[in-house]
Amino acid sequence: MSLFFFYSFLYFVLLVSLCFSSSFEHHLCSPTEASALLQYKQHFEIISYASYNCDRASFPKTKSWNESRDCCTWDGVTCDMLTGHIISLDLSCSQLFGNFHPNSSLFQLHHLHTLNFDNNYFNYSSIPHNIGRLTNLRHLNLSDRTFETMLHNYFTNLELLSLFNVNISSPIPVNISSSLRYLDLGYTNLRGVLTESFFLPPNSFETLKLSGNHLLKGVFPKIHRRHTVNGVGYFIHRHLCSLNHLNLYGCQFSGSIPDSIGNLTQITELDLSLNHFTGHIPSTISILKHLTIFGLTSNSFSGEIPDVFSNLQKLRYIDFFNNSFNGPFPASILSLTHLEYLGLSSNSLSGPLLSKASMLQKLSELDLSDNSLNGTIPSWVFNLPLVDSLWLHNNQFSGLADEIKTNPTLQLLYLNNNQLSGSFPQSLVNLTNLSTLDHSSNNITIDEGINITFPSLEFLLLSSCELKDFPHFLRNVKTIQYLDISNNKICGQIPNWFSGMRWDSLQFLNLSHNSLTGHLPQFRYDNLQYLYLKFNSLQGPLALSICNMSSLILLDLSHNYFSDSVPHCLGSMASLTVLDLRRNNFTRSLPPFCAQSTSLSTIVVNGNRFEGPVPVSLLNCNGLEVLDVGNNAINDTFPAWLGILQELQVLILKSNKFHGPISTGSLAAKVFGNFKAMIKLDDEDTREINLVIKGHDIELERISTIMTTIDLSSNHFEGVIPRTLMDLSSLWLLILSHNNLRGDIPMKLGKLNMLEALDLSWNRLTGKIPQELTRMNFLAFLNLSQNHLVGPIPQGQQFDTFENDSYGGNLDLCGLPLPKQCGTSDSSHAPQQLESEEDEGESYFFSYSFGLVVGTVMWSLMFKYRKPKWFVDYFDGLMPHRPKKRAQRRRT
Ligand SMILES: *[C@@H]1O[C@H](CO)[C@@H](O)[C@H](O)[C@H]1NC(C)=O
Ligand SMILES: *[C@@H]1O[C@H](CO)[C@@H](O)[C@H](O)[C@H]1NC(C)=O
Ligand SMILES: *[C@@H]1O[C@H](CO)[C@@H](O)[C@H](O)[C@H]1NC(C)=O
Ligand SMILES: *[C@@H]1O[C@H](CO)[C@@H](O)[C@H](O)[C@H]1NC(C)=O
Ligand SMILES: *[C@@H]1O[C@H](CO)[C@@H](O)[C@H](O)[C@H]1NC(C)=O
Ligand SMILES: *[C@@H]1O[C@H](CO)[C@@H](O)[C@H](O)[C@H]1NC(C)=O
Ligand SMILES: *[C@@H]1O[C@H](CO)[C@@H](O)[C@H](O)[C@H]1NC(C)=O
Ligand SMILES: *[C@@H]1O[C@H](CO)[C@@H](O)[C@H](O)[C@H]1NC(C)=O
Ligand SMILES: *[C@@H]1O[C@H](CO)[C@@H](O)[C@H](O)[C@H]1NC(C)=O
């Protein structure tokens, strides 16, 4: 019986132990720790966007967490194999989304040694100070832009702390934690001054990253081996000597680098870019033989670059861009067999590049642009085994070495703005991968016999090269997208082979500023978008076939001798946005713009012999910003209906045969009020004006929509100045001179407080000059001469800057700057004799241009104080961007 019970008991024990062993025995992890983790997990949603910065291999690690498995096997969890305690939690890139609870159950994991929350979304929670309860924590990574914290000393025993992108917004406490070896406080909004003692014992960093704290000041620490005597004997502080990674990119450090930098013997990465450092680079850097990355860009370093690189054989990356280094190219750099990137651009290096063979087996990008290097470009440059991009522009190189062996890996070659002369380098053959060649602003000839093929060439820039002919080698180029041969000396007709090329990929063609003659051929480039032919001597009528280039966005035919009528189809091309026909010999009536399309935003036909009325079809151009029909023979009344076009900002009707009143009763009053774009521009808008003065003439070289303009001068307008003009409060230039306007100058014109230039001269205006005009704070040019104005000239503000010639030839004006004082009547005064037509024009242009030059100077003075954001001007904005340097800066 008892035996039975005994066996039953044994059986029971066996069962129970079997039971236990199946559920718990090989669960290393303690149930309390497991449940703490599960509790923690419940506070977060899983949303992939929360880890959008991570690579595709990342996954939500907490998904695999459940009770049926030992927590030591959960993703991201590591246990101590002996004790079973969780010692490491790596939840980086785990798509966690939610708030971090101040006393999260996580803080019960007292044995945690490593905690990594890199790249999740914690909704800008504060880092809970309970984290200080994790006294065994050594590595803490909270890098994320969605934490905020104060830097407290709850990190006392940490060896690794990364708070990259956490918003700290405070100074760094000096005694942050002396056990720290790795500290990343990049982009944390640190501020204040980092004292040198931060670098001193007891702190002893191996990695220190403070990049992107643009309010953090400091100096580069002096690195001494200090010897102190204590009870036992000599003691050597080897502080900072173990530093291997220092990143101060984009802070506000200043001062120079001390010679003692040579004591940083373990340093591998040193990035001091974008600070205010000055002085020379100490030659003690020659000792830093572990250095791989050396970045000093955008500081104010000066002096020669010490030629001490031969021992720094691990260097992979050197970037000294944008400093004031001078003297020769440091030849010892040529011995760096591991160098991949060398950037010395935007300094003042001078003298030649050595022609001795280089050992640069790994170099793929060489940027020496914007220096004063001279002599011939040695062969090794083109022959680097891994060469990819060469930026040698803006130097004074005078030629290429004779025997060049090129490496077909080369893709980008910038030789522009040097003094290269002679024949186009025949040796640039075998460049099968070359996609961009910028050779502009040199002096070369391209022999007809030369037969180079560039099977991958997309961007070719040969402007300002003194070329006398179209480059024949282009016959072999099939892939061209961007071709600029402007500003050369190419004479004669555009050759048939050129216009007949089947360049389907060509988008941009600039042939302007040459001496091309003859008719415009039919180009076969179906996808051309930008065509510049300005400043040539092309002539004859435009063929209808020009409209076959159906992708055209910009067509600039200005400053040629094109004649006859403009094909009507040109006004209705589907994509055409900018049409510039100025200064040609076109006649007849204007084509019906926008009759079948609405894309035109800029129409400039100034300086032709167009006749007839302004085409009413313009009403369809609902994006029209600039309309310049000046200097033609257009015979029409004021096109008040243009007021419907809400984007119109520049309206130039000057020197035509317009007649009648500017306003026709109440109708026009409304119309001017409708020029909405002229009414309100952002206050941010600033002013850039490009004036070119040729002889007595003046031209807005690039008509900028920023410069809202109404120029109705030299027509036969009559009637009064419309009161509604005052609503155009963004107007910059208002020119109504040389018409037959009568009546007063409206007092309310003073409301045009952005106005820079006001010209009402040569009309029949009467009455006094309203004192209100002094409110125009930007007025830099004023011409009220040759009217019938009387009374005192307003005083004060801008009016103190105008001279006699602003007022000449009026009936009875008095007060400064005129000699006649007010109060005394001078009845002998008579209006000035009208000059002959031609003289009139000349004096008009002269005073106009003079006034505007003065005005421009004044604006620039004013802007010194008003700090404008300069505008990217309209046309540049439209052009496709030239190939840019490839983004080459590392993310730090
Ligand atoms: C627990 O996780 C495992 C593996 O991830 C899964 O197969 C199992 O269905 C889960 N159990 C529960 C109750 O979610
Ligand atoms: C938070 O901590 C307090 C004591 O510090 C404790 O009483 C409370 O239960 C905790 N709350 C949670 C949700 O853990
Ligand atoms: C290292 O520091 C010592 C002590 O300040 C100094 O004398 C020495 O010149 C430094 N070494 C270098 C290479 O700068
Ligand atoms: C190159 O520049 C150096 C230093 O500026 C100058 O002395 C030398 O004459 C120049 N050489 C040539 C060929 O222009
Ligand atoms: C161009 O390549 C061919 C064949 O690869 C080679 O024979 C020739 O020497 C190369 N020419 C130059 C100038 O590198
Ligand atoms: C260009 O080079 C030729 C000789 O090759 C010379 O006659 C001419 O003056 C140079 N032009 C300029 C602008 O330097
Ligand atoms: C130029 O070279 C290409 C390809 O190498 C060849 O097809 C063509 O006939 C050559 N032209 C001349 C004029 O030598
Ligand atoms: C403009 O065309 C007319 C004929 O229509 C011609 O007499 C005149 O010379 C041309 N002007 C220019 C500058 O080509
Ligand atoms: C303008 O055209 C009208 C007829 O449409 C004509 O009577 C008038 O003379 C022309 N004016 C000028 C200045 O040519």
Of residues 231 and 520, which shows the higher confidence score?
520
What pLDDT, on a 0 to 100 scale, did the predictor assign at position 147? 67
Is the confidence at residue 892, as pLDDT, over 60? no
* Best residue among 326, 350, 372 to mutate for probing ligand 4, ranked by most atoms within 8 Å of CB: 350
Q: Do the domain assignments include residue 63?
A: yes
Which among 189, 205, 221 is the end of a domain?
A: 189
Q: pLDDT (tens digit, 9 = 90+) per residue, 186-217? A: 998 888 998 887 887 777 889 999 999 999 99
In this predicted structure, what is the pLDDT of residue 429?
Answer: 75
What pLDDT score does 612 carry?
92
* Residue 700 lies inside a defined structural domain of this protein: yes
Mean pLDDT of 279-298: 95
Q: Give residue 148's pLDDT.
A: 66
| Residue that the structure tokens 């030649």 belong to | 352
pLDDT at 421: 86
The dihedral formed by the CA atoms of 609, 614, 615 and 621, expressed in degrees to the nearest 10: 110
pLDDT of 335 strictly over 90: yes
Number of domains in the chain: 2
For residue 302, the surrounding DSSP H or E stretch is strand 300-304
Name the residue with the closest Cα to ligand 4, atom 10.
351
Distance CA(129)–CA(111), nearest Å, equals 17
Instruction: Specify the ligand 9 atom closest to the Cα of 635.
Output: 1
Is residue 1 pLDDT above 90, yes or no? no
The tokens of 748 are what?
Answer: 């309310």
Q: Is residue 671 pLDDT above 80, yes or no?
A: no
How far is residue 758 from each of residues 658, 699, 750, measured CA to CA in Å? Answer: 20, 17, 11
Residues 6+ apart with CB under 8 A from 481: 458, 459, 505, 506, 507, 508
| Cβ atoms 449, 426 nearer than 8 A | no
Residue nearest to atom 4 of ligand 4 (CA): 351
Select from 161, 189, 217 the last residue of a domain.
189
Of the pLDDT bands very low, low, confident and very high (cuts 50, 70, 90), residue 26 is: low
More confident residue, 326 or 867: 326
Q: Give CA–CA dist 548/526, Å, rounded.
A: 8
Residue 454 lies in a domain: no
- Using a 10 angstrom Cβ sphere, with 0-12 exposed, 13-18 middle and 19 or more buried, the burial of residue 788 is middle
Q: Is 234 contained in some domain?
A: no
Is 453 a pocket residue for ligand 7 (Cβ < 6 Å)? yes
Q: Does 64 contact ligand 1 (Cβ within 6 A)?
A: yes
Confidence check: pLDDT of 666 > 50 = no
Mean pLDDT lowest among 230-244, 334-348, 459-473, 837-851: 837-851
CA of 465 relative to ligand 6 center, distance in Å: 10
- Averaging pLDDT over each range in 48-57, 269-278, 459-468, 540-549, which range is the top one? 269-278
- Looking at residue 303, what is its pLDDT? 96
Decide whether any atom of ligand 9 lies within 6 Å of the 356 Cβ: no
Looking at residues 675-699, what average pLDDT do you find? 36
DSSP 121: B
Does residue 866 or residue 632 have the better pLDDT?
632
Which ligand is nearest to the Cα of residue 560, counting in written order? 8
Q: Give the binding-site residues of ligand 5, using a 6 Å CB cut-off.
A: 405-406, 427, 429-430
Q: Specify the residue for token string 């199946």.
A: 22
Closest ligand 7 atom to Cα of 449: 13
Note the Cα 263 to chain centre separation in Å.
39
Position 824 pLDDT exceeds 80: no
pLDDT of residue 528: 92
Question: How far from chain centre, in Å, is Cα 471?
Answer: 32
pLDDT of 63 strictly over 70: yes
374 CA → ligand 4 middle, Å: 6
Residue 587, pLDDT above cutoff 60: yes
Phi, psi of 472 (to 5 degrees): -65, -30
Q: What was the pLDDT predicted at 228?
A: 52
Mean pLDDT of all residues belonging to the chain: 79
Instruction: Report the pLDDT averaged over residues 562-570.
Output: 92
Q: What are phi and psi of 652, to 5 degrees?
A: -120, 115
Nearest ligand 6 atom to the CA of 422 is 5
Q: Please give the Cα distance from 453 to 172 (Å, whole number).
A: 60
Distance CA 369, CA 345 (A): 5
Closest atom of ligand 8 relative to the 585 alpha carbon? 1
Give a yes or no: residue 767 inside a domain. Answer: yes
421 CB under 6 A from ligand 6?
Answer: yes
For range 802-815, the mean pLDDT: 85
Task: Compute the distance between CA of residue 870 and CA of residue 867 in angstroms, rounded to an integer.
Answer: 9
Q: Which of 65, 66, 70, 75 to mutate to test the pocket of ligand 1 (most atoms within 8 A of CB)?
A: 66
> Would the CB of 332 count as within 6 Å of ligand 7?
no
pLDDT band at 322 (very low <50, low <70, confident <90, very high): very high
**Is residue 575 one of the residues assigned to a domain?**
no
Mutate which of 69, 70, 73, 77 for ligand 1? The one with the most ligand atoms within 8 Å of its CB, which is 69
Boundary-marking domain end, from 158, 189, 220: 189
Ligand 6 near 466 CB (within 6 A): yes
Residue 585 alpha carbon to ligand 8 centre in Å = 6
- 856-861 — which CB contacts under 8 Å span 24+ positions? 856/689, 856/691, 856/780, 858/780, 858/801, 859/687, 859/689, 859/756, 859/778, 859/780
760-769 pLDDT tens trace = 999 999 888 9
pLDDT value for 152: 60
Ligand 7 pocket test: pick from 432, 451, 454, 474 the residue with the most ligand atoms within 8 Å of its Cβ: 451
Q: Do strands 45-46 and 96-97 pair parallel, antiparallel, or not at all (unpaired)?
A: antiparallel
Query: Rounded to whole angstroms, how far apart are CA atoms 727 and 751?
Result: 8
How far are the Cα atoms of 77, 134, 141, 213, 247 from residue 112, in angstroms, in the given order? 10, 7, 13, 30, 29
Give the range with max mean pLDDT: 75-89, 112-126, 339-353, 392-406. Answer: 339-353
Of all protein residues, whose CA lies closest to atom 9 belonging to ligand 9?
635
pLDDT band at 227 (very low <50, low <70, confident <90, very high): low
Q: Do 636 and 660 contact (CB within 8 A), yes or no? A: no
| Percent with pLDDT over 70 in the chain | 80
Any domain includes 728: yes
Supply the residue whose CA is at minimum distance from atom 11 of ligand 6: 443
The reported pTM is: 0.78
**In percent, how much of the chain has pLDDT > 90?**
36
Ligand 8 neighbourhood includes 563 CB (under 6 angstroms)? yes
Which residue has a Cα nearest atom 8 of ligand 6? Answer: 443
Query: Which of 85-94, 144-153, 273-282, 773-782 is least confident?
Result: 144-153
Which ligand 6 atom is the nearest neighbour of the CA of 445?
A: 5
Give the confidence band of 425 by pLDDT, cuts at 50, 70, 90: confident
Spatial separation of the C-alpha atoms in residues 46 and 89, rounded to whole Å = 17
pLDDT(729) > 80: no
Report the pLDDT value the prediction gives residue 271, as an integer from 0 to 100.
Answer: 95
155 band by pLDDT with thresholds 50, 70 and 90? low
Average pLDDT over residues 601-619: 92
Give which of 746, 788, 787 is closest to 770, Cα–Cα. Answer: 746
Per-residue confidence band for 58, with pLDDT thresholds at 50, 70 and 90: confident
pLDDT above 80: residue 853: no
* 771 vs 785: CA distance, rounded Å: 17
pLDDT band at 563 (very low <50, low <70, confident <90, very high): very high
CATH number of the domain to which 783 belongs: 3.80.10.10
Pocket flag, ligand 7, residue 475 (CB < 6 Å): no
Question: Closest Cα to atom 5, ligand 7: which residue?
Answer: 453
pLDDT at 336 exceeding the cut of 90: yes
Closest ligand 9 atom to residue 716 Cα is 13
Query: Considering the domain boundaries, does residue 152 fall inside one?
Result: yes
Ligand 5 atom with minimal separation from the 405 CA: 14
Confidence bin at 588 (pLDDT 50/70/90): very high
pLDDT beyond 50 at 56:
yes
Distance 439 CA to ligand 6 centre (A): 16
Range of the domain at 841: 688-824+832-852
**What pLDDT is stored for residue 707 in this prediction?**
60
Q: What is the pLDDT of residue 141?
A: 87
The predicted pLDDT at position 852 comes to 34
Ligand 4 atom 9: residue of nearest CA: 351
Quote the pLDDT of residue 863. 29
For residues 608 and 631, give the distance between their C-alpha atoms in angstroms, rounded to a whole number: 7
- Respond yes or no on whether the N-terminal peptide bond of residue 202 is cis (omega within 30° of 0): yes
